[in-house]
């Protein structure tokens, strides 16, 4: 059974940053919005690091030798463009020896209220037997996450996948659980109950890509 970790269930500074991310007034400062996404990524990276494999290593200081447990294999950090870039940077700040993967996915509208999710581009290392952290700020319908994972399989079969979303809809979490393999763990900052017909999370925070980088055409 796929485990879901909802970080909002525990009181921590994480909830302060998440609250600022949602706040209409704070969102007016684009740089602060990006930084808050980055900080949330850093905290989530720390939490996920507890699930990784470690091995003992001798660390030589000027005065002697210290025993320390060091991450055995650094995870591959995979991110859906473009909204995921600040979140990705937060993970990279902590997993600074990791390989990186970028996936371009977008909504291809067939009507005003209907669309398909298209994966257009993939830049990835080989991921056979690797731990992969797949990030996107929002898990709305969950379709983008699942399609991104399927695209990654062109580069190998991962040992484990950590799916990360800052805010998710309850429906999106259930979709990911149904369509991802058993070697998957879901990490979210909060789960909102409602999603509109256009697959926007309510209360959510709006369009994370536009808030981070400005509005786009099309």
Residue 187 and residue 7 in contact, taking contact as beta carbons nearer than 8 Å: yes
**Where exactly are the structural domains of the chain?**
3-213
> How far is CA 202 from its chain centroid?
19
Q: Where are the alpha helices (DSSP H) in the chain?
A: 13-22, 30-49, 85-94, 143-152, 170-179, 208-213
- Spell 176-196 as b/e; 16+ CB within 10 A means b: bbeebeeebbbbbbbbbeebe
Contacts 24+ apart (CB under 8 A), 174-178: 174/142, 175/141, 175/142, 175/143, 175/146, 176/2, 176/139, 176/142, 176/145, 176/146, 177/2, 177/4
User: pLDDT at position 144, please?
Assistant: 87
Supply the CATH classification number for the domain 3-213: 3.40.50.2020
Q: Which residues of the chain have pLDDT under 50?
A: 109-115
Distance CA 194, CA 209 (A): 20
User: pLDDT at position 121, please?
Assistant: 81
User: pLDDT at position 83, please?
Assistant: 87
User: pLDDT at position 108, please?
Assistant: 53
């Amino acid at each position: 059974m796929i485990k879901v970790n909802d970080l909002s269930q525990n009181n921590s500074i994480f909830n302060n940053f998440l609250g600022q991310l949602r706040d209409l007034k704070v969102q007016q400062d684009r740089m602060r919005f990006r930084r808050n996404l980055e900080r949330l990524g850093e905290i989530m990276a720390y939490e996920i690091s507890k699930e990784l494999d470690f091995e003992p290593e001798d660390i030589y200081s000027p005065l002697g030798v210290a025993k320390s447990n060091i991450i055995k294999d650094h995870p591959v950090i995979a991110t859906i463009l473009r909204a995921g870039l600040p979140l990705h940077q937060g993970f990279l700040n902590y997993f600074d020896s990791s390989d990186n993967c970028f996936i371009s996915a977008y909504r291809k509208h067939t009507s005003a209220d209907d669309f398909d999710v298209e994966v257009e581009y993939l830049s990835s290392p080989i991921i056979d037997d690797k731990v992969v952290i797949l990030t996107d700020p929002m898990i709305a319908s969950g379709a983008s996450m699942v399609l991104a994972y399927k695209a990654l399989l062109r580069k190998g079969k991962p040992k484990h996948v950590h799916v990360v979303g800052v805010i998710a809809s309850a429906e999106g979490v259930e979709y990911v659980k149904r369509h991802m393999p058993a070697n998957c763990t879901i990490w979210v900052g909060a789960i909102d109950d409602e999603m509109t017909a256009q697959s926007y999370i309510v209360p959510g925070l709006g369009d994370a890509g536009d808030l981070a980088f400005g509005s786009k055409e099309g």
